[in-house]
Chain A
């Protein structure tokens, strides 16, 4: 029965699921447009070269295939790289800042799980061509407002500045092999081995203590006081200052109550260059959104351009929302006079109601029997 199955990790989305997703898209699209973001669409697949130029070697996660000339193609694993390519080519004459957003299905060859599929839907924004606190704050604000506008309960955005960790590591007396190991332990979230490794290294105790603490620090501004080594380190303390400034700006934009400082957000250490953040809801063991500042990406395609953005997983957002939300009135309209029935249906549809027209020519009694909530019957004699 192979003709009835679909590949592992892919899904058919049924009407109820699609309805929730489209509703989310609609609300967030409206929000993005209100902030002057414009929608773009990029190709579903690209040359592998393009993806590796932007995202590095992630080949194991890609769906690869060949074109007829022997070029290697990849289904898009995300959209930001394509946008960077676009900004460095088609949009090269447009002035900065450019505000762009997208809704796209993306493909990753990962182990399928409850909230992890091989084809999934992302919606995201990129603010290109501006650096600085206000640009960062706008993007984080949009992340919070996105979750607010669709009604996610009790969510938190964890915020960090990747420069704190990177500059501590780069500028210290640690050997380069050990640096690699520390990075891989931090990215692998193995805090036990990290502690053991640092203990064995001949470096400043305050630095050790600071690196070990970073991945677990979580809270308000007070956590920054816990880091003795930072003051001695000019680049790291500059990164801390930037983080504090963004956090303060979020007070002005009115979203700070949903934001927590979390120096453990160390996603994509090679990719991001400034603030990084992730969003979580308490009931889902997976992140809802993630993003940050990536000032070096567009440069890889030949145009120097600071940038900041985030993407959220629409499938995961749909999982945390209460799907029993109140919806518009639903009507089932039938009758003998076809013209009148059509007229009535259109009248109701113009009010944005959901209208199902009887096309089977059923009697009133038959329609009454067929009627299901939330539909109400209108029968025109």
Chain B
């Protein structure tokens, strides 16, 4: 029996480059489009199925085995810390985690933000970063528009992901420190990796040839 491969895709910014990559790798992409409201795309002839997920939901689908593979940003992966394989760096969707402050504070040292309030969508990454610098902070978890927090005095600092840095600039914020870079990753369920090895290995190889990144086997 041919095994079916289920891949969880991130809707939104990552979808277009994902479809492009899949096309080049010879995977089915006919009618693949998030505007149709379809949540499952099943290509029976090729034994492949895609799930349309919110990016932050991709790791849990893969961890629990509802999907074998997933396409998701490293930013989401590090924040969630799920038990999954990270198999390949797909290169696209670049962004970076930064600590940003209002422009008037741009010459302050990071140490001066000890015991201050930090607004972020990424409490785990934020806590880990400040702890590794020996600093304690109070985290204010927000779900969007983080830039608003320092403007309104809700926080002293923010931690957010930026790609070009334009949003920061528009809100009179400057980068104080970089925490880490993030690109899109191919992730895999720990059992699928063993039981569907013969289907997954060639796929990784194709992705690697196309993106020229990731592991070199």
Is the CB–CB distance between A156 and B85 below 8 Å?
no
B window 188-205: CB within 8 A of A:
189-197, 201
Contact of B88 with A by CB under 8 A: yes
User: Is the CB of B185 closer than 8 A to any CB of chain A?
Assistant: yes
Given A190-B86, A285-B189, A280 contacting B195 (CB threshold 8 A): yes
- For the complex, give the distance between the alpha carbons of A156 and B193 in Å: 12
Query: A77-114, CB under 8 A of B: which get 1 and which 0?
Result: 00000000000000000000000000000000000011
Check B217 against A213 for contact (C-beta < 8 Å): yes
The answer, yes or no, to whether B15 is at the interface (CB within 8 Å) is no
Q: Say yes or no: A285 contacts B85, CB within 8 Å.
A: no
Q: In whole Å, how far is A310's beta carbon from the nearest beta carbon of chain B?
A: 16
Interface residue stretch chosen among A26-34, A192-200, A371-379: A192-200
Determine whether the beta carbon of B87 is less than 8 Å from that of A192.
Answer: yes
Does B194 contact A192, Cβ atoms closer than 8 Å?
Answer: no
Known: A192-B86, A285-B189. A212 touches B217 (CB 8 A): yes
Asked, given contacts A195-B215, A285-B64, whether A218 binds B85 with beta carbons under 8 Å apart, the answer is no
> Nearest chain-A residue to B196 (Cβ)?
A282
> Is the CB of B123 closer than 8 A to any CB of chain A?
no
Of B85, B88, B214, which one neighbours A189 at CB under 8 angstroms? B85
The reply to whether A192 and B65 form a contact with Cβ atoms under 8 Å apart is no
Q: A380 at interface (Cβ–Cβ under 8 A)?
A: no
Choose from B63, B86, B191, B214 the contact partner of A287 (Cβ within 8 Å). Answer: B191
Complex Cα spacing A341 to B87, Å: 66
Quick check: is A191 within 8 A (CB to CB) of the other chain? yes
Does residue B3 face the partner (Cβ distance < 8 Å to A)? yes
For residue B68, which residue of chain A has the nearest CB? Answer: A285
Q: Nearest Cβ in chain A — how far from B164, in angstroms?
A: 23
Closest to B183 in A: A192
- CB of B217 within 8 A of CB of A218, answer no
Contact A193 B86 (CB under 8 A): yes
Report whether over half of chain A's contact residues are helix, strand or loop; otherwise say mixed: mixed
Confirm or deny: A286 has a beta carbon within 8 angstroms of a beta carbon on chain B: yes
Q: Could you tell me which residues of chain A, from 204 to 262, have a CB within 8 Å of some CB in chain B?
A: 209, 212-213, 216, 218-219, 260, 262
Q: Does A203 contact B (CB under 8 A)?
A: no
Interface residue B175 (Cβ < 8 Å from any Cβ of A): no
Interface residues of B in 166-209 (CB under 8 A from A): 185, 189-197, 201
Interface 0/1 of A278-290, CB less than 8 Å to B? 1011101111000
* B157 on the A face (CB < 8 A): no
Distance to closest chain A CB from B89 (angstroms): 5
Q: Are A216 and B195 in contact (CB under 8 A)?
A: no
Contacts of A114 in B (CB 8 A): 64
Q: Scoring B residues 123 to 159 as 1 if CB is less than 8 Å from chain A, else 0, what string do you get? A: 0000000000000000000000000000000000000
Q: B191–A280 contact, CB under 8 A?
A: yes
Tally of contacts, chain A with chain B, CB under 8 A: 72
- Do residues A158 and B194 form an inter-chain contact, with CB atoms below 8 A? yes
A281 to B87 CA separation, bound complex (whole angstroms): 21
State in angstroms the CA–CA spacing of A162 and B196 once bound together.
23
0/1 interface trace, chain A 134-165, chain B, CB 8 Å (1 if under) = 00000000000000000000001010000000
Known: A284-B65, A285-B192. A191 touches B215 (CB 8 A): yes
- Shortest distance in angstroms between A292's beta carbon and chain B's nearest beta carbon? 16
- Contact assessment for A262 and B65 in the assembled complex, using a CB-CB cutoff below 8 Å: no
Q: Bin chain A's interface residue count.
A: 20 to 34
Known contacts A192-B88, A285-B64, A209 near B195 by CB under 8 Å: no
Given contacts A113-B64, A158-B194, A195-B214, contact A189 B3 (CB under 8 A): no
Let me know if B51 is at the binding interface, CB within 8 A. no
Residues from chain A with Cβ under 8 Å of B65 in the complex: 284-286
B216 neighbours in A (Cβ, 8 Å): 195, 209, 212
- Please name all residues of chain A whose beta carbon is closer than 8 Å to the beta carbon of B217 when the two chains form the complex: 212-213, 216
Q: Which chain B residues lie closer than 8 Å to A285 at the CB level?
A: 63-66, 189-192
> Which residue among A194, A262, A278, A282 has the maximum number of chain B CB atoms within 10 Å of its CB?
A282
Q: Given A195-B214, A213-B217, does the pair A284, B86 have CB atoms closer than 8 Å?
A: no
B52 at the interface (CB under 8 A from A): no
Q: Are B215 and A282 in contact (CB under 8 A)?
A: no
CA distance A85 to B193 in the complex (A): 36
What residues of A have a CB within 8 angstroms of the CB of B192 in the complex? 285
Contacts of B83 in A (CB 8 A): 189
Please judge, given known A-B contacts A280-B194, A280-B195, A285-B192, whether A192 and B64 are in contact too, CB under 8 Å.
Answer: no
B99 at the interface (CB under 8 A from A): no
Given A285-B192, A286-B65, A287-B191, A189:B84 Cβ within 8 A:
yes
> Quick one: which of B3, B66, B185 contacts A192, CB cutoff 8 A?
B185
| Set of chain A residues within 8 Å of B88, measured between Cβ atoms | 191-192
Bound complex: CA A376 to CA B66 (Å): 40
Complex formed: what's the CA distance from A29 to B114 in Å?
59
The residues of A that contact B64 with a CB separation of less than 8 Å are: 113-114, 285
Q: How far is the CB of B211 from chain A (nearest CB, A)?
A: 11
* Distance in angstroms between the alpha carbons of A37 and B47 in the assembled complex: 44
Provide 17 A-B residue pairs closer than 8 Å at the C-beta atoms, listed in order of the A residue: A156-B195, A189-B84, A190-B86, A191-B87, A191-B215, A192-B87, A192-B185, A193-B86, A196-B89, A216-B201, A264-B194, A280-B195, A281-B195, A282-B191, A282-B196, A284-B65, A285-B63
